Chains A and B, each alone.
Chain A
Amino acid sequence: MVRFTDKIPAFFKRREWLLFGLIVLTFLFFNVQEPNNYTLVKLLNQTRVYMVDVGFMALGMLLVLILGDIDISVAAIAALSATVMGVTYKAGQGLPFGISIVLMLVTGVLCGLVNGLLVIRFKELFPMIITLATQTLYRGIAYIILKDQSAGSFPTWFSKDLGYGLVNIFGLDVPVMLLCLLAVFPLYHLWLHHTVSGHRYFATGTNLTASRFSGIHTDKIKLSAFMLNGLFAAIAGFFLTSRTGSVKYTIGTGFEMQAIAVAVLGGASTSGGKGSVVGLLLALVLLTALKNGLMLLYNDAFILNLSVGLLLILVVLIPNLLGMLNKYRTVRRQRLELAKT
């Protein structure tokens, strides 16, 4: 016999549905509270602030989390790559901007490579510790390069049209940045969830030893994940710089925790093997809706952090508790049936 109460946990176990419900609730709540300022149109514009750079960073982080690893150094990679871009461009007097961008991406990949090599070379160490150390190192290098200066004066298409530009689609003003981010999602989803090479990451994260014995080069998988993560971090740095208009070595401080929070909210687990690109997107939307609403309603940085922390724990905890409740009920019902017979 299947009862309705048994169905609820299964429904909520789909993280995507829980997130979707929360998005609708969040939106309606703040829309009633702040009817003039919290509208869909205005929220769409705010995606530039809350979604894009963290979103790119979270996409890379997702891959690393699926492997059961973690990367604390992403924000530092973003800062170092953006620094390289700013310094080589030298406000128009250095290299052409296109080459600066390529150098920036290469820097990101290289930083990821260093992380990856250290991780596969020193398996005794948790990736958290390794990336904790490389984080100081990368930001330190950015500090040595830039010192107290900031590098800026980028071309207008970068700092105006990309950072603040809007495109009119079906009467809605959509930020250019958001379109760039959204363009990546379908491809990333297809690759990660529907190709063999994507499935290898899940396999490696679920059971490393089994994957190795079934012919997956787990070291190569790990290395590629960290390199891709570095690349995404550099892209995040690129978009962040387009908003700030200049680079300082402190840029993006603390973003790594935001990226982890987004990936975990979206269904990734720090113990590996789990993660969803759609969940990630929904988590980004939810955080944008929530943070912007809180910003308007309470206008207090600490309350904002407090709510995000609460949300993070609840979204992970609730399915766990419901799962446990369900299990407890099943066991009790089985016992009762046993007692009857």
Chain B
Amino acid sequence: MKRILSLILAAMMLLGLALAVGAEEPITIGVVYKQSGNPFFEAGVRGFDEASKELGFTFIHNGPADSSNEGQIQIIEGYIQQEVDAIAISANDAAGVVSVLQTAMDKGIKVVSWDSKVEAAGRNLNVDPSVAQNIGRVQVEEIAKQIGYEGQIAILSAAATHDNQNTWIAYMKEELEKPEYDKIELVTVVYGDDLTDKSYQEMQGLINSYPDLKGVISPTTVGVAAAAVAIKDMGMSGKIKLTGLGLPSEMADHLADGTCEAMFLWNPIDLGYAAAYASIAMVKGDITGAVGEKFDAGRLGEREIMDAGDGGTFILVGDPFRFTGENIDDWKNVY
């Protein structure tokens, strides 16, 4: 029995070794995103696709089914196994993937984070959609304008554990300190856990608990859509203003009928496109990820690497785009 077993094992090994000789291949990027089947990242992948046609590289993409950190680690380990040249990741947990990405970098794989950053120790470069401060600022400006610089507002966030949400909310609070917003009162921050029904319940709770509520900011795509539905269902369209970060395809009807006058989002296609260009520039050795280096980002023009203030570096893609009832038709079938 043991002999047969060892024979089979030896045969398997031989087969494995014999077939392990491969030919030279083009540059491959392994793309990791937060969750499989999320339309935002499907659009991001289209950016990679566009770039791959221009630059002639190949890429593979995957995200966990349950937006977990462990699922992303599995995928990254798979990419290391396949010996990709670069990994472009939108991280579910900025700290949780650092170890595995460090082993990737030890093997010469370049790591670029996009959309949601990885801690400085685990990346070569971060492709930031926009400066966090701007993201916070534009939303406060928008809601203030809509409610006439006076009244109660609330924030409907994703989860108290999301780093980017907390950063934006901190900048929103900082912006609200300014004298022109003196008459605006931020009554509460509630969390919908990025679940549609929970966000809906939280929005309904806000409307019931704060009868004088004038406006809501929801800096999360799930939250802002659920909030729009809740506002409409409770007959508060126009009475409670809404803005935030939303997906055009999801928000199309709400923007068209004015439940949400305007909302923001960066372009995930541009984001993926820029991340692809950055990864290729890094693999080719044009840039190393140091402050002050410049590279050509295709149709987006030249980008300069800047200090991110967290010990790492980043590039900016652009400011968030403002979607309104007028321009939504151009975008609702794009992403």
Touch test A–B (CB under 8 Å): yes
* A229-249 CB contacts (< 8 Å) to partner B: 240, 243-246, 248-249
B66 within 8 A of A: yes
Rounded to whole angstroms, the CA-CA distance of A14 and B140 in the bound complex is: 66
Whether A296 pairs with B82 at a CB distance below 8 angstroms is yes
Across-interface contacts of B93 in A (CB, < 8 A) = 150, 244, 246, 248, 250
Whether B37 pairs with A302 at a CB distance below 8 angstroms is yes
Chain A 317-328, CB within 8 Å of chain B: the 1/0 string? 000000000000
Given the interface pairs A296-B82, A302-B36, the reply to whether A250 lies near B161 with Cβ below 8 Å is: yes
Most buried by A among B20, B36, B99, B103: B99
Across-interface contacts of A46 in B (CB, < 8 A) = 77-78, 81
* A8-67 CB contacts (< 8 Å) to partner B: 24, 27-28, 31-32, 35-42, 45-46, 48-50
Whether A302 pairs with B65 at a CB distance below 8 angstroms is yes
A163 within 8 A of B: yes
Whether B19 pairs with A148 at a CB distance below 8 angstroms is no
A252 within 8 A of B: yes
Across-interface contacts of B82 in A (CB, < 8 A) = 37, 296
Whether B81 pairs with A45 at a CB distance below 8 angstroms is yes
Which of these, A35, A49, A147, A150, contacts B73 with CB under 8 Å? Answer: A49
Across-interface contacts of A45 in B (CB, < 8 A) = 81
Which of these, A39, A159, A250, A254, contacts B17 with CB under 8 Å? Answer: A39
Which of these, A164, A291, A296, contacts B99 with CB under 8 Å? Answer: A164
Shortest distance in angstroms between A164's beta carbon and chain B's nearest beta carbon? 5
A253 within 8 A of B: yes
B173 within 8 A of A: no
Whether B12 pairs with A40 at a CB distance below 8 angstroms is yes
Whether B19 pairs with A36 at a CB distance below 8 angstroms is yes
B98 within 8 A of A: yes
Across-interface contacts of A159 in B (CB, < 8 A) = 99
Chain A 280-322, CB within 8 Å of chain B: the 1/0 string? 0000000000011001100111101100000000000000000
Range of interface residues on B (Cβ < 8 Å)? 35 or more
A273 within 8 A of B: no
Whether A249 pairs with B73 at a CB distance below 8 angstroms is no
Across-interface contacts of A32 in B (CB, < 8 A) = 19
Which of these, A38, A243, A299, contacts B60 with CB under 8 Å? Answer: A299
Given the interface pairs A50-B74, A295-B74, A301-B62, the reply to whether A245 lies near B99 with Cβ below 8 Å is: yes
B68 within 8 A of A: yes
Across-interface contacts of A35 in B (CB, < 8 A) = 16, 19-20, 22
Chain B's closest residue to A244 (CB) is B96
Most buried by A among B15, B61, B70, B159: B70
* A194-239 CB contacts (< 8 Å) to partner B: none
Rounded to whole angstroms, the CA-CA distance of A4 and B22 in the bound complex is: 45
Shortest distance in angstroms between A186's beta carbon and chain B's nearest beta carbon? 16
Across-interface contacts of B63 in A (CB, < 8 A) = 301
Chain A's closest residue to B99 (CB) is A245
Chain B's closest residue to A304 (CB) is B65
Rounded to whole angstroms, the CA-CA distance of A335 and B97 in the bound complex is: 65
* B74-103 CB contacts (< 8 Å) to partner A: 74-75, 77-78, 81-83, 93, 95-100, 103
Which of these, B65, B75, B77, B161, contacts A147 with CB under 8 Å? Answer: B161
B170 within 8 A of A: no
Across-interface contacts of B19 in A (CB, < 8 A) = 31-32, 35-36, 39
Chain A's closest residue to B35 (CB) is A301
Whether B81 pairs with A296 at a CB distance below 8 angstroms is yes
Which of these, B22, B71, B100, B161, contacts A243 with CB under 8 Å? Answer: B100
Rounded to whole angstroms, the CA-CA distance of A40 and B9 in the bound complex is: 9
A268 within 8 A of B: no
Most buried by B among A31, A49, A160, A251: A49
Chain A's closest residue to B69 (CB) is A244
Shortest distance in angstroms between B92's beta carbon and chain A's nearest beta carbon? 9
Shortest distance in angstroms between B13's beta carbon and chain A's nearest beta carbon? 5
Most buried by A among B15, B65, B81, B166: B81
Given the interface pairs A35-B20, A40-B13, A251-B69, the reply to whether A299 lies near B78 with Cβ below 8 Å is: yes
B8 within 8 A of A: yes
Whether B12 pairs with A27 at a CB distance below 8 angstroms is yes
Q: Which residues does B use to contact A, with CB under 8 Å?
A: 8, 12-13, 15-17, 19-22, 36-37, 60-66, 68-71, 73-75, 77-78, 81-83, 93, 95-100, 103, 159-163, 166
Q: Would you list 17 pairs from A and B whose C-beta atoms are within 8 A, ordered by A residue?
A: A24-B12, A31-B15, A35-B22, A37-B81, A40-B16, A41-B17, A42-B81, A45-B81, A147-B161, A148-B160, A159-B99, A244-B96, A245-B95, A250-B69, A251-B69, A292-B81, A299-B60
